[in-house]
């Protein structure tokens, strides 16, 4: 993920940047890092490199660039096929094998803003997902960023490299790309893939992903009751509830893996998010239960902990999180389009084996106030 703050690049030695500025369409902006453009085409001290905003071909010559933009093959539509389209933003899948030059030029351009990832010349084995904005007034389109993904990842990576181009940052567009990357890993389907971004993440990538994961889990924990109909139907629910039983159990027991399965996230990423939200409390000895330890659990991971919805709610309010999903299921097209009406999963009474989501009744009531408000 590209750093959000260009100023943080001051420590990057200027001498390592072979290109100082780029012109992308009608935008001129500074580069951040060295790329590996061929030296016979782009000299080591290029002040201004012209890059086609549709196909990422490049030139140091303004006239050649102008000539190209009049004839660019991709000036009306991006290459590849559209997988997502909502609210003017669309995502296009480009196969590096069939669009080799495009993928290489995109990678060379991206490297100007990425420090930690190498540019993959092995574009054959990658898919590229372009984030595109289409101007409703004249139907012109702009590529705002992209992520790449290995076609076959042995490490369950759903994303290799992500970049929102500098002029388009600070608009929550990275979250849209991250959300699409999770959806495209197919974790909701059987057999799906629980995955995450390629590690290690850069410092800023780590920050961006942590926030994305935290919001994803906050949505899951805080909205799951509302989604299953409890919130809207609470009066009827109360009538149907047999005497002497509570509308909802005071706590649920679930494993980190359960949360991961529900959100498509790796266990380690779920733990990162829960800790980041300050939502994890060590269970007091009296509340600990004897839990069978699974073979994959480390000594710490098998310790039951308490996750309070109220803490997650506090976190969401403090971070002004709206709990809106950055992507909309209805926006997916082609093979990723929603198929019919999904069955509502009613598995809340299933018990897990490791981590423990425990709340006293008072807190459930408090959370109910929020969910039904």
Q: Compute the least distance from the CB of residue 333 to Zn ion, in Å.
A: 25
d(CA 327, CA 86): 8
Can you tell me whether residue 161 is helix, strand or coil? Answer: strand
Q: Compute the least distance from the CB of residue 144 to Zn ion, in Å.
A: 16
Footprint of Zn ion (CB under 5 A)? 52, 54-55, 57, 72
* Cross-strand partners of 265: 195
Asked if 83 and 334 touch (Cβ cutoff 8 Å), the reply is yes
Q: Compute the least distance from the CB of residue 15 to Zn ion, in Å.
A: 30
CA distance from start to end of the chain: 37
User: What angle, rounded to 10 degrees, do the helices at 203-227 and 361-372 form?
Assistant: 90
Residue 133: DSSP 8-state: E
Can you tell me whether residue 16 is helix, strand or coil? Answer: helix
User: Closest CB to Zn ion among 79 and 174?
Assistant: 79
User: Closest CB to Zn ion among 105 and 255?
Assistant: 105
Cis geometry, peptide bond prior to residue 191 (ω within 30 degrees of 0): yes
Q: Compute the least distance from the CB of residue 60 to Zn ion, in Å.
A: 15
Q: Compute the least distance from the CB of residue 2 to Zn ion, in Å.
A: 22
d(CA 373, CA 369): 6
Can you tell me whether residue 252 is helix, strand or coil? Answer: strand
User: Closest CB to Zn ion among 101 and 156?
Assistant: 101
Q: Compute the least distance from the CB of residue 119 to Zn ion, in Å.
A: 19
User: Closest CB to Zn ion among 36 and 101?
Assistant: 101
- Kindly report the number of other CB atoms within 10 A of residue 7's CB atom: 7
- Give me the active site residues, please: 198
Residue 33: DSSP 8-state: S
Closest CA to 204 of 129, 265, 113: 113
Closest CA to 248 of 223, 227, 231: 231
d(CA 208, CA 263): 17
User: Closest CB to Zn ion among 74 and 293?
Assistant: 74
Q: Cα dist. 344→180, 226, 328, 333 in Å? A: 22, 12, 17, 22
Within the chain, residue ranges assigned H as helices are 62-71, 100-111, 173-184, 203-227, 234-240, 256-263, 267-276, 309-318, 361-372
């Amino acid at each position: 993920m590209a750093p959000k703050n260009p100023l943080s690049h001051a420590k990057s030695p200027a001498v390592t940047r072979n290109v100082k500025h780029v012109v992308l369409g009608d935008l001129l902006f500074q580069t951040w890092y060295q790329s590996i453009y061929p030296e016979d085409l782009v000299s080591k001290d290029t002040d201004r490199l012209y890059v086609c905003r549709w196909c990422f071909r490049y030139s140091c010559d303004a006239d050649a660039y102008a000539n190209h933009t009049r004839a660019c093959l991709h000036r009306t539509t991006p290459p590849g096929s559209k997988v997502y389209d909502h609210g003017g933003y669309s995502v296009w899948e480009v196969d590096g094998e069939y669009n080799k030059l495009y993928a290489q030029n995109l990678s060379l351009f991206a490297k100007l803003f990425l420090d930690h990832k190498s540019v993959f010349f092995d574009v054959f084995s990658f898919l590229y997902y372009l984030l595109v904005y289409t101007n409703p007034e004249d139907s012109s389109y702009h590529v705002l960023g992209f992520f790449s993904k290995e076609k076959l990842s042995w490490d369950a990576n759903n994303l290799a490299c992500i970049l929102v181009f500098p002029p388009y940052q600070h608009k929550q567009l990275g979250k849209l790309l991250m959300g699409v990357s999770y959806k495209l890993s197919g974790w909701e389907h059987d057999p799906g893939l629980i995955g995450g971004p390629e590690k290690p993440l850069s410092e800023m990538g780590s920050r961006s992903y942590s926030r994305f994961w935290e919001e994803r889990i906050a949505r899951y924990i805080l909205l799951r009751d509302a989604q299953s109909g409890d919130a809207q139907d609470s009066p009827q629910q109360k009538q149907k509830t047999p005497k002497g039983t509570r509308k909802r159990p005071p706590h649920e027991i679930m494993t980190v893996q359960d949360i991961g399965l529900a959100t498509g996230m790796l266990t380690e990423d779920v733990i990162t998010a829960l800790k980041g939200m300050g939502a994890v409390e060590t269970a007091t000895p009296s509340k600990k239960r004897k839990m069978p330890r699974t073979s994959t659990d480390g000594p710490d991971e098998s310790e039951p902990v308490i996750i309070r919805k109220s803490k997650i709610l506090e976190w969401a309010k403090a971070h002004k999180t709206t709990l809106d999903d950055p992507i909309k299921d209805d926006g997916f097209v082609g093979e990723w389009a929603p198929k019919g009406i999904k069955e509502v999963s009613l598995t809340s009474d299933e018990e897990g084996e490791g981590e423990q989501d425990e709340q006293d009744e008072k807190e459930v009531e408090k959370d109910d106030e929020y969910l039904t408000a």
